Structure formats: C-alpha cells, structure tokens
Amino acid sequence: MAQYIADRRDIDFVLFEQLEADKLCEHEKYAEFNKKTFDLLINEARNYAVKEVLPTLTEGDRAGGAIFDNGKVTVPECYQKPYKLLVEGEWVGMTEDPEVGGQGFPLTIGQAVIEYIIGANFAFAAYGYAGHGTAKMIEIFGTDKQKELYLKKLYSAEWGGTMVLTEPEAGSDVGNLSTTATPNDDGTYNISGNKIFITGAEQDLTPNVIHPVLARIEGAPKGTKGISLFIVPKIWVNDDGSLGEPNDVVCTGIEHKMGLKGSSTCSLTFGGQGKCKGVLLGEVNKGMQVMFHMMNEARLLVGTIGACNASAAYLYAVNYAKERIQGRDLDDMFNHDAAPVPIIKHPDVRRMLLWMKAHVDGMRSLCYYGANMFDKIKLETDETQKEYYQGIIEILTPIIKSYCTDRGFQVCGEAIQCYGGYGYTQEFPVEQIMRDSKINSIYEGTNGIQAMDLLGRKMGMKKGAYFINLLSEIGKIVAQAKQNPALDQDASKLEEAVTRLSEIAMHLGSTAASGKIKEAFSFATPFQEVMGDVVMGWMLLWRAVIAAPKLDKIVGGKDAAEVAAKNKEAAFYLSQLKTAEYFINSILPGTIGKMNAIGATNDAVVSTPEACFMG
C-alpha cells in the first residue's frame, strides 16, 4: 500500500537504528515505556493522521479555508471532528510531564507523532500545536496560579494558544512595537494595541484562546530591553478556572494567503473598548527572554514542518512515477514497437527522485536528532555534558529551521516537476503542498535572519567551541565510515567538505572583524546553505554506516542489487548507501564550489549602488 505522509520504515530506522531511541527506556524517567509502547503510539498517530486528518487537507483548502465574518472566524467544517479527536487523544502534550497534563513520552518519539499529524495537514494541526509553545512559556516562567489556570487546558489543546509579536510597523524589528500595558491596582494590566499575522488567534474549535502578548509598560526603556510579556485570554479566566467575560480582544480580519487557507492568520485589536486585561508573565522588561523560549521551540517545529512537506511531496511523486506510463526506455529509444514504460525508468526522473529522497532522508534524521538532543539534555546529570548537548542544539537550530524549510519547498517544486503538467493542477495534491510549504521559510524569523543569527551569534558562542563540537560529531561518523571499504571514499569527500567549511567559517569571522561586516553578512545565507549541505552529508553518511553491515548480512556475498529486487530489507539498506553516495558525489562538489565563492567574498552585493536596482 502506498504511503502518503511519511515512510514508516524510514521513521523506524532513524528512531531505533540511527538514534537508538529505545535505549531511553533504560533511564528511570522513561522506564515505564519500551519499544513496543513506542511502536503502538506511532501506529495510533499514523492511523489518526491518515484516517482523520489527511482527508481534511484538500477539503479544507477547496472549501475556501477559514472564513471571517463580523469579528468571528469559522474554520472548515471538516476540522471539527478530527480536532475533538486531537484533544481526546492528548496528542499535543504527549511529551510533557503527567502533572501538567502530558503523558511523559520522550521528545524523540514525539517527533514521529508530529511528523504524521502535522505532515497530514498543518493548517489544521496548527490550531492545537500553537498552544504548546504558549503552555511551555507559562510552565517555565509562570506563577503557580498561572500554571494552575492554563497549563492543562493548553497542553490538552482544549484551549488554543498563540504567539503575539508582530505589529504593522514592527515585524522582525520587534523592539519597535507600540502596544502598551498600563498597571492596575489589582496587579493586572490594561493592554492596548494592534497585532497582525497571528496564527489561529480566532477560530471556532476551542472555547478560549490564550494570547502571550508583547507590550511596553509606560516608562520602560526603548527597544527590546523595555518589552514585557503578558498573558491575555480571549475570554477572561476567573481564579477558580471558570470562564468569565469576553476580554476586549477583537479579530479585525484574516489574511487571504497563498497557502494554508484553512489556518486563520488574524489581525487583532487589544483594548479597543479600553477593557482588555492581562497578567505579567515573567519579569518586567524581560518579555523577549521569555518569548525566545517559545520562538526556539517554534523554529525547530517549523523546520520539522518543512521536512514533513518534503516527505509527503516526495512520496506522492515516487508513487506517481511508478504508475505513470509514458515514453520508451532509453535502451529501446529506436525501437518504435517497444512498449511505453513508467516514468521512473527515465534517468532525469530518477535524478529528481533521488535528489528529493536524499534531502527528505537527511532532514528527517536531522530533525529527529535535534529532538534527541533535548532528551539527552533532560536526562543528563553532568553539567559539562549537558552544556555540550545544548551547544549542539544552539548551532543546529538555525540550520534546522532554515535548511529544512528552504529545501522542503524545493522538494515540493521537484515533486511538481515529476508530475509534469498534472503537478501544476489541483487534480493532484503536490501543488497545494508546495503552496502550504512556502510560509515555512518566513515563519519565526525569516531564513535570512536565521543566517545572520548563525553567523553573527551562534558561531562565536563559547569562542567557537559549540561549532568545533559539531565538527567533532561529524568527524566521529567520518572515522567510522573510513573503516568500511565501501564507504571510505565517500567519507574522505565529506571530510574534505568539513575542512573547507571550517576554513570558510574562520574567513567570514575575520572578514567581519576587519571592518567589512556588510561584506561578511552578504554571505550569511550562502554560508548557512553550505553548512546545511555538510550537515546533510553527515546525516546520510551516518545512515550508510549503520546500513552497510546489515546489508552485507542479508546479501551474503551475492549481488546487492539482485537481492534487493526481491528483498525489501535489502532494498531499504541498499538505498541508504546509494543515497549517501549520490549526495556526497553529486551535491557536495557543488557545495565546495559555493564555499570557494564565499571565500572570494566578492563585494558586489554591498558595492552596487542603490540606483542600479531599477524598478
């Protein structure tokens, strides 16, 4: 049976062969679980996603998406039943501790659940999952009373949650916001201002929505140093947890978007009638520090969404390529009596499919690896080792967010290309997946901002130690691969790319330090891209290191391709070797070429006069 969201065999490979997630059960925190428990959970998530969520993908898009009328938003009717099941299944908070409403599963396993549910339809899933980040901020920074009132409702997705930063004149420049907070005698604050681009801020799925709102208290310092964060419920929550009066939070409209039409992207007015109240979350003027906890979680989630879109698009494309009959095999190109063949027989289609597969496989490993780092941080007792893991995450966060969303979108484009003209029509789902995917590179800080963060902040953390530690992790896999004659050459080529990446990182650092900061940062995005390619090579070679001995055991000295034609496990393991071989030999040489261009640091981007940008 064809798969349409994610390859379950590949998920199992990443979880239990690459990351050995079942070993998490050896720790007391996860002792109640085992591999069978994890398998059952993922099976349930897959069944729910395929049977209940996936059918809403096209229906929600074609039905006109979310509809705004007189301050209210109606979501597609097909969302109602699966949302109730999302709440009943406790899917959103499954990795949180039971005392706050979760089920206590590892984040690594939760990644597989997210891949199925969000991969089936993020426009739908966002209504529930957005509240997870809201709850996490309250759990970390909230008072006991705030936790009591909000955590379980948000982690269960019974209430929705948002992230309220952007204003018409303050997008990425959050410090320029104008929303105000005026203290009241009872400890609350009156909130007044306008916000835009707020996902899921108004909908008819939940009885309440909890808004974490950035605002400035009168007299606070300018810029981000003077921003505080407030919990502002759509419906006021009484001290006993019951719902009170509407809180003067009004949706003034929703955006008409390229994709994710079922997800309401709202404009909000707070305090239009002077009756909007909020309570401080965390400390005064420390709102951005609190919000960054949510934003980092969101950035990793958005990277996962990009990978999910790519996975679905690739699976649709490969299934289509196996079924679509067109053209003769090149071996029979001059035989006009030859029967037409499935397009997967054509070399250029195979090139597109292997390019897609390489990126889908690598991105899945990378996103799961990120989740696994968080599990290791949670379980680690040695502070030095904990900081080591945290450093890896700090470096990889902008890569996961930017690379997976950029390449995710490109994979969707290649999927459309595989379909030919049909891919550009609504007859097949890949055009919608591509439309839905584009926002990911814009969400939670555009990818250009991620590149500036990587180059300007992350690379220099701990005097470069975090970056060096990442290179060390890659080096461990290179060393293992060199012990296998089948992988030795690929390992050496990846090692060459790693060495060049290190040189380019030092070059950009010294360029910026020499006063040519604009020249250096004009190459921030290219640097982020080449670093992402190297990380992909690492993940794919790691896969091959695991797969090679298992393939040898199955093949037993016979021709691997012949055995793979009849044995699914042999085919799977062989695909790991061939995918790594393709990426390292066909993609990484171009990456090194891009590194050489960065090393030249041509200043055309900076030196071109504005008058030359004619329009």
Q: Which residues are catalytic?
A: 444
8 Å CB contact between 492 and 482: yes
How many other CB atoms are found less than 10 A from the CB of residue 491? Answer: 23
CB-neighbour burial class of residue 110 (10 A; exposed 0-12, middle 13-18, buried 19+): buried
> Is 8 in a helix, a strand, or coil?
helix
How many CB atoms are located within 10 Å of the residue 386 CB? Answer: 15
Which residues are CB-neighbours of 501 under 8 A, at least 6 positions away?
A: 471, 530, 531, 534, 595
Asked whether the beta carbons of 501 and 531 are under 8 A apart, the reply is: yes
d(CA 470, CA 454): 13
Paired tokens of 108: 């690594």
Proportion of the chain in helix, strand, coil states, percent, rounded to 5: 65, 10, 25
Residues 6+ apart with CB under 8 A from 68: 202, 251, 253, 254, 264
d(CA 212, CA 232) in angstroms, rounded, equals 6
CA 281 to each of CA 187, 188, 271, 312: distance values in angstroms, whole numbers, following the listed order = 12, 11, 19, 38
- Per-residue exposure over 573-584, b if at least 16 CB sit within 10 Å of its own CB, e if not: bbbbbbbbbbbb
Tokens of 515: 């006063």
3-state secondary structure 512-576: HHCCCHHHHHCCHHHHHHHHHHHHHHHHHHHHHHHHHHHHHHHHCCCCHHHHHCCCHHHHHHHHH
The token pair at 486 is 């089948």
Helix and strand numbers (H, E) in the chain are 20, 12
DSSP label at 286?
Answer: -
Radius of gyration in angstroms for the set of CA atoms belonging to the chain, rounded to a whole number = 25
Question: What is the 8-class DSSP label of residue 439?
Answer: G
Q: Tokens in use for 331? A: 């071996």
Rounded-to-integer distance, Cα 267 and Cα 254, Å: 6
